[in-house]
Structure 1
Amino acid sequence: MEAANKNVKTIIEKMTEKYHDWPAKLPFALWGYRTSVRTPTGATPYSLVYGMEAISIELEIPSLRIALESQIPEVDWVQARYEELLLIDEKRLAALNQVQLYQRRISRSFNKKVRARNLKDGDLVLKEIRAPVRDPRGKFKPNWAGPYIIKKILKGGAVQLTDIEGVEFSQLTNLDQLKKYHVR
């Protein structure tokens, strides 16, 4: 939901000149958001809900589509609309398939950047300092602490560390906070 709010906010910012104009522009921003195609689904939110694309300007200026719909008998129009609604499930399944393909593509892209950490019990490692520690050295403070020894690698990427003297840490460390320490 926050992503949608951010997008609507961006649309409104582009449409308004003064900050107090936004209430008048909100319906247009929402209309634009609901009728624009989403990359993950390959469809508009409006079409996934109502089974057909939105008609905006056609309400004021009759188009061929509106003219044809107004000339057909009501029974035929209802039948055509019913058939469109039957196809909505197919559209939603196609959108779901598109979302799954999009997620796989994003996952592959992310996994290309993941580095394998070949660490095992007994290795010397450095631990990343993530906590905001007040240090008089400012930006020259160290980013890594250690070296430490891996006592045990647990399931899920948790690691039990000990210091050089063999004193065990009370808390587990995440594997992604460690890098191998190479002695020169």
Structure 2
Amino acid sequence: MDTKSLIIDVATNLFQQKGYKGVGLNEIIKACNISKGSLYHHFPNGKEELLIACLQLLNEEITKDIVEIFERYPTTREAAEAMISKLVENFEAEGTLTGYTFSSIVSEMASLSEPVRNACAQLYQKIQAIYMEKLLADGFTKDKANAIALMMTASIEGAMLLCLTQKEAEPLKIISQLLPKML
């Protein structure tokens, strides 16, 4: 793995675990075993530029995973059930959802930085578009598919946050029971 990818991987994990403000550049440098000059070589504008790169990585990883699941199942209902089941399994196995949610970063930084807010918005839009595409294929009208996709995005993201704060998978399990009934 090249140095830039290493920095992004390590910083992404640290930001998800501790939040943007809870992680200093020195901690990232130490965890990567690199020099400060090396970090600034790849991210000359510092921590915020690194955060945006981390959000772009999460965007790619999260949406790739969602697309794979949604392509594997013929209906939105089946795909949503499978995706949420995977989230529950991961949470129960690892006690966290690192790699699947970035909501803590959104709540911490979106109002403070327009570039960070835009990066977060792009990810949510991409997730919602994946859901919407599948809903349209299921025969929903564009307006109805858009509304349901928004509700799915908000419900699943909210359930993930609740799982993290409650330290249990119950919120996702409830969503997995209720969401298919709405589809």
Instruction: Give the number of the structure whose residues are more often helix, by fraction.
Output: 2
TM-score between the two structures when normalised by the length of structure 2: 0.29
Instruction: Give the number of the structure whose residues are more often strand, by fraction.
Output: 1
TM-score between the two structures when normalised by the length of structure 1: 0.29
Work out which structure has the larger RCO, using CA pairs closer than 8 Å and 6 or more positions apart in sequence.
2
